[in-house]
């Protein structure tokens, strides 16, 4: 494949920085933009002097080089977004407004310069919201979506991502923008910050420091996790194939794990003495949070479009994160 010019919004974030690494290793040129709200400069530090990498610290909603960046690139991963349960609950208005505005600006810029670049919009499994799952069932992309009425503070992130999806597909249908939607399920791995309420980095930090591992609710809620290396490969493969144009595609891992089992797994792999402690959602978030009980993607569409097969197990991923944390602490 010819050399790509890759623009990553949210490029100093967890998934963004892993995409930067992936494309630089492939010999591509990469331009990342990030306002460092939840992203960290240290995630991209190893590349700052790389001749094929450039970084702008800016909010995507007022990035002075937006048109220049969009003109330069032939592949955009739009990841910049207000994320993390704590941040979203604390700042619902900006979650909606920045997440929607940022995506619209990218789409409009592509249209304004009639760019043929490929655009991948990072959506989320949260758009499935409270869709019930039968035992053994997995969420397919054509599933009817269900949002509870009146719980708006909790839903601003999900709704902003759903608006991104609809906006992207409308620009595809009516303005010819080449857009693919990736509905990302829980992704974990190196460079993920524990500061914004993400479960695995929290558990690992607690296990390594000997603090109680805090499980919210009854711990029987389950999630399916994907290693960020697998996620990044899947996202890149989606943009490698023209078959993904205009498609909504689940990206994630399909092995379900309850949060209590996850806590026990982290404790065991970290050889930690931490106790496992239950917290109510009120204690955890300061509001009576209604958590989703189960989340598991059907990945048939991803596999059919890209031929992708995940390589990492959950245990290997937890080992990798713990190892990286220990190395950082020793450095
Ligand atoms: N990690 C997951 O499990 C997961 C699951 C579903 C969806 N996603 C989506 O994937 C994307 C990346 O998530 P992540 O887990 O890497 O989180 P992250 O917080 O590490 O990455 C988001 C990045 O966007 C930056 N950012 C936020 N608002 C910005 C703005 N207005 N302008 C410029 N930069 C901005 C942040 O500083 C951060 O670096 C997000 O869009 C998120 O919604 C992630």
Q: Whose CA is nearest to atom 18 of ligand 1?
A: 13
Q: Are 182 and 123 in contact (CB under 8 A)?
A: yes
Burial of 245 (0-12, 13-18, 19+ CB in 10 A): middle
The strand pairing partners of 54, in sequence order, are 31
Instruction: Write down the pLDDT at residue 290.
Output: 75
pLDDT tens figures, 201-245: 999 999 999 999 999 999 999 999 999 999 999 999 999 999 999
Q: How far is the CA of 258 from the centre of ligand 1 (A)?
A: 24
**Which atom of ligand 1 is nearest to 36's Cα?**
37
Q: Which two structure tokens, joined as six digits, stand for 283?
A: 């204690």
The pLDDT of residue 198 is: 82
In the reported structure, the alpha carbon of residue 37 is separated from the centroid of ligand 1 by a whole-number distance in angstroms of 9
Measured from CB, residues less than 6 Å from any atom of ligand 1 are: 9-10, 12-16, 33-39, 59-61, 79-83, 98, 102, 122, 124, 184, 186-187
How far is 215 from 213, CA to CA, in rounded Å?
6
Domain residue ranges in the chain: 5-191+226-254+296-311
List the residue whose alpha carbon is closest to atom 35 of ligand 1: 80
Q: Read off the pLDDT of residues 287-302 as tens digits, 9 standing for 90 and up.
A: 777 778 889 999 999 9
DSSP calls for 290-331: ---S---B--HHHHHHH-------HHHHHHHHHHHHHHHHH-
Distance CA 148, CA 140 (A): 20
Cα–Cα distance for residue pair 160/37, rounded to 1 Å: 17
Beta strands 222-224 and 248-251 are: unpaired
CA of 22 from ligand 1 middle (Å) equals: 17
Report the chain's mean pLDDT, rounded to a whole number.
Answer: 94
One CATH from 1.10.3720.10, 2.40.50.840, 3.40.50.720, 3.55.50.30 for 5-191+226-254+296-311: 3.40.50.720
Q: Which residues are catalytic?
A: 157
User: Which residue minimizes the CA distance to atom 9 of ligand 1?
Assistant: 122
The rounded Å distance from CA 146 to ligand 1 centre is 24
Cα 225 to Cα 67, 129, 176, distances in angstroms? 36, 17, 34
Lowest mean pLDDT among 74-83, 143-152, 220-229: 143-152
Cα of 36 from ligand 1 centre, angstroms: 10
- Tell me the average pLDDT across 140-153: 86
Ligand 1, residue 99: give the atom nearest the CA.
Answer: 31
Contact 312, 229 (CB under 8 A): yes
Pocket-testing residue among 7, 9, 12, 13, ligand 1, by greatest number of atoms within 8 A of Cβ: 13
Q: What is the 3-state secondary structure (H, E, C) of 112-130?
A: HCCCCCEEEEEEEHHHHCC
Ligand 1 atom, smallest distance to 196 CA: 19
Q: In whole angstroms, give the CA distance from residue 109 to residue 106.
A: 5
Between the CA of 51 and the centroid of ligand 1 the distance, in Å, is: 25
Rounded to the nearest angstrom, the distance between the alpha carbon of 82 and the centre of ligand 1 is 6
Q: By CB neighbour count within 10 A (0-12 exposed, 13-18 middle, 19+ buried), where does 173 fall?
A: exposed
Closest C-alpha to 17, from 50, 51, 41: 41
Q: Considering the chain, what percentage of its residues have pLDDT values greater than 90?
A: 82
Best mutation site among 7, 11, 15 for ligand 1 pocket (most ligand atoms within 8 Å of CB) = 15
CA separation, residue 215 to residues 83, 191, 204, 240 (Å): 20, 22, 12, 39
Rg (CA), the chain: 19
Q: Which residues of 221-237 are buried (b: 16+ CB within 10 A; e: fewer)?
A: bbbbbbbbbbbbbbbbb
pLDDT at 282: 87
Please, which residues bridge with residue 9 across strands?
A: 33, 78
> Up-side HSE of residue 134: CA atoms within 13 Å toward CB?
2
* Distance of alpha carbon 10 from alpha carbon 103, whole angstroms: 12
Residue 29 pLDDT: 98
The answer to whether 59 touches 81, Cβ cutoff 8 Å, is no
Q: Indicate which atom in ligand 1 lies nearest the CA of residue 191.
A: 20
- Residue-wise pLDDT for 168-183, tens only, equals 999 999 999 999 999 9
The closest residue, in CA terms, to atom 28 on ligand 1 is 81
What is the number of the ligand 1 atom nearest to the C-alpha of 184? 6
Torsion angle in degrees (nearest 10) through CA of 145, 147, 148, 153 = 160
Q: What pLDDT, on the 0 to 100 scale, is given for residue 296?
A: 95
pTM for the predicted model, two decimal places? 0.95
């Amino acid at each position: 494949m010819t050399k790509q010019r890759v623009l990553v919004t949210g490029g100093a974030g967890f998934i963004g920085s892993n995409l930067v690494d992936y494309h630089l290793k492939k010999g591509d040129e990469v331009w990342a933009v990030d306002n460092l709200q939840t992203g960290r400069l240290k995630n991209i530090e190893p590349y700052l002097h790389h001749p094929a990498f450039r970084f702008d610290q800016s909010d995507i909603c007022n990035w002075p080089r937006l048109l220049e960046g969009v003109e330069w690139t032939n592949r955009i991963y739009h990841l910049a977004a207000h994320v993390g349960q704590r941040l979203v609950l604390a700042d619902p208005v900006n979650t909606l407004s920045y997440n929607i505005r940022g995506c619209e600006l990218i789409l409009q810029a592509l249209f304004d310069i009639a760019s043929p670049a490929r655009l991948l919009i990072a959506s989320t499994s949260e758009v499935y919201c409270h869709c019930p799952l039968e035992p053994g069932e997995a969420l397919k992309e054509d599933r009817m979506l269900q949002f509870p009425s009146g719980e708006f503070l909790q839903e601003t992130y999900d709704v902003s991502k759903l608006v991104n999806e609809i906006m992207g597909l409308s620009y595809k249908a009516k303005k010819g923008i080449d857009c693919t939607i990736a509905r990302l399920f829980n992704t974990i791995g190196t460079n993920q910050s524990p500061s914004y309420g993400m479960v695995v980095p929290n558990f690992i930090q607690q296990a390594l420091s000997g603090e109680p591992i805090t499980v919210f609710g009854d711990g029987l809620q389950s999630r399916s996790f994907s290693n960020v290396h697998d996620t990044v490969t899947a996202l890149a493969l989606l943009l490698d194939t023209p078959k993904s144009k205009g498609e909504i595609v689940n990206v994630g891992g399909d092995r379900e794990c309850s949060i209590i089992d996850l806590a026990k797994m982290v404790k065991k792999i970290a050889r930690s003495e931490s106790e496992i402690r239950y917290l109510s959602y009120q204690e955890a978030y300061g509001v009576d949070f209604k958590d989703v009980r189960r989340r598991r993607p059907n990945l048939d569409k991803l596999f059919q479009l890209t031929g992708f097969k995940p390589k990492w197990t959950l245990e290997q991923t937890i080992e990798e994160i713990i190892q990286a944390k220990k190395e950082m602490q020793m450095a």
